[in-house]
Amino acid sequence: MTSPTDLLVRGGRIIDPANGVEGTLDVLVRDGRIAAVAAELAANAPVFDATGLVVAPGFVDLHTHLREPGFEHKETIASGTIAAARGGYTTVCAMANTDPTMDSAAVVAQVLERARGASARVLPVGAITKGRRGKELAEMEALRAAGVVAYSDDGEGIADAGVARRAFDYAAALDLPISEHCEDLAIAGAGQERGVMHEGAVSARLGLSGQPAAAEIAMLDRDIHLAELTGAQLHFAHVSTAASCAAVATAKEHGLRISAEVTPHHLFLTDAAVAGETTNGLDPNSYDTNAKVAPPLRPAAHAAACVDALATGVLDAVATDHAPHALPDKQCEFQHAAYGISGLETAFGVLGTLVSERKLTLATVIERLTIGPVRAWRLDRETHRGLGTLAEGAPGDLAIIDPACRWVVNPDRFASLGKNTPLTGRTLTGRVVATVLGGRLVFDARAEEAPA
């Protein structure tokens, strides 16, 4: 008898960075868990022919905005996890800026309930402070008991250094990481004055208020000192500047428990995207609100520094910061537009393009999408033992990839309700062909594209 959670993936090129495995092998998933990785496996199980494709552990996203509860017009747990599956992601960490905020066990329980049977594993992130207002600590122990894997007020940094210090102290004892959004609003500008893009040549041209790299670094440096003081496990969300990468590298050399992520868009795009990549005078396509994101897209030197830091392991993970929005949230004046990019379904294409440009290797990219994030947050505890690897007994999660496939981004084809991407019309190299979650095929492009 074969169960629906059995699958034999045959003939693919296996890349399992955690175990140093790379070669043409078969993968057998039994009862939703990895049973064997070996040559010429035979088993009584449905077969997926992966000849010519790369087979990796399912991707793990440390930074996903699923928007539910409260913003179901932007995304739902159902639509967001289908988008995840289409992007090769089998585990997504759902951020706390829902409505109500994920600052109580009840909201966490509600999210986990809705995530049952979803197309990806949803690991909730609890808020650090009540309502993410940066004042009073949320009940962090209750959140942990309810199942959160980290704490974050993402969307906002903790402006008050005293509150940050107490949060770090408290989280240190709870042994879960804090994921910090670094943006010093005294420098970036608060409220109406908040810089809506990177401050530099392009913002000067466009007459938009900018925020300098210093707005990120100021808070990041503060937090490194507080991490040293408190012993907290600190994670930096969406690092976007060269100086941030350097500071993280130094902190790691000093042995602090620090990790960091970078988004595909900060690796790949620059602030020129806001101007619509025009070369001769601004045109009606300038002021592209789909390129409005926090932290802002930066000049090429910052993006290059982030690529280098990802290659060397200073940055532990690629995280999407998938931030879906409804059309009216973006189709408005730049100043009024919402921040964020819908990223789950383009992440691997962007990274694969960087591989095709020889800026990163495929093995590095897969490491930073799998075991990198898992180790950063120690997600492989208890029931998730082996997550991000193809070790025997690990969750039977696979991303099956065609690294050479060239495709054109068309958000109309996204499963995500958020069509907001500045990549529309771009040709990317590298595509997820199929995704397996606990032995079940949750995405199969070949089946989708087969004639009816």
Contacts with other proteins by CB under 8 A lie at 199-210, 212, 272, 275, 278-287, 299, 328, 331-336
Q: Pick the closer one to other proteins by CB: 85 or 274.
A: 274
Give the SS3 label for residue 308.
Answer: helix
Q: How far is the C-alpha of 348 from the C-alpha of 88, rounded, in Å?
A: 8
Q: Pick the closer one to other proteins by CB: 106 or 282.
A: 282
Which residue do the tokens 């970078």 mark? Answer: 262
Q: CB within 8 A of 201, min separation 6: which ones? A: 299
Q: 7: which strand partners?
A: 29
Q: Pick the closer one to other proteins by CB: 312 or 335.
A: 335
Q: Pick the closer one to other proteins by CB: 68 or 288.
A: 288
- How far apart are CB 436 and other proteins at their closest, in Å? 42
- How far apart are CB 279 and other proteins at their closest, in Å? 7
Per DSSP, 384 falls in state G
- How far apart are CB 189 and other proteins at their closest, in Å? 12
Which residue do the tokens 């974050």 mark? Answer: 152
Q: Pick the closer one to other proteins by CB: 98 or 241.
A: 241
Judge whether 125 and 179 are in contact, CB under 8 Å: yes
- How far apart are CB 278 and other proteins at their closest, in Å? 7
Instruction: List C-alpha distances in Å: 352 to 279, 364, 373, 431.
Output: 26, 11, 18, 8
Alpha helices in 211-316 (DSSP H): 214-230, 242-253, 264-268, 300-312
Alpha helices in 154-241 (DSSP H): 161-174, 185-188, 201-206, 214-230
Q: Pick the closer one to other proteins by CB: 145 or 204.
A: 204
- State the amino acid at position 317 in one-letter form: A
- How far apart are CB 417 and other proteins at their closest, in Å? 20
Which candidate, 354, 324, 289, places its Cα nearest to that of 98? 324
Q: How far is the C-alpha of 303 from the C-alpha of 380, rounded, in Å?
A: 30
Which residue do the tokens 């402070």 mark? Answer: 129
Q: How far is the C-alpha of 64 from the C-alpha of 79, rounded, in Å?
A: 12
Q: Pick the closer one to other proteins by CB: 229 or 332.
A: 332
- How far apart are CB 271 and other proteins at their closest, in Å? 8
Peptide bond into 328 cis (omega under 30): no
Annotated active-site residue in 321, 380, 397, 402:
321
- How far apart are CB 201 and other proteins at their closest, in Å? 4
Q: CB within 8 A of 410, min separation 6: which ones? A: 424, 425
Active site residue 397: no
The CA dihedral of 289, 290, 295, 296, to the nearest 10 degrees, is -60
Q: How far is the C-alpha of 64 from the C-alpha of 85, rounded, in Å?
A: 13
C-beta contacts of 39-44 below 8 A and 24+ residues apart = 41/8, 41/10, 43/6, 43/8, 44/1, 44/2, 44/6
What tokens were used for 14?
């296996």
- How far apart are CB 191 and other proteins at their closest, in Å? 15
The CA dihedral of 425, 426, 429, 432, to the nearest 10 degrees, is -50
- How far apart are CB 79 and other proteins at their closest, in Å? 25
Q: Pick the closer one to other proteins by CB: 225 or 336.
A: 336
Q: Pick the closer one to other proteins by CB: 214 or 404.
A: 214
What tokens were used for 52?
């010519």
List the strands of the sheet with 258-262, edge to edge.
59-64, 89-94, 121-126, 150-151, 178-180, 234-236, 258-262, 317-318
| Residues designated as active site | 321
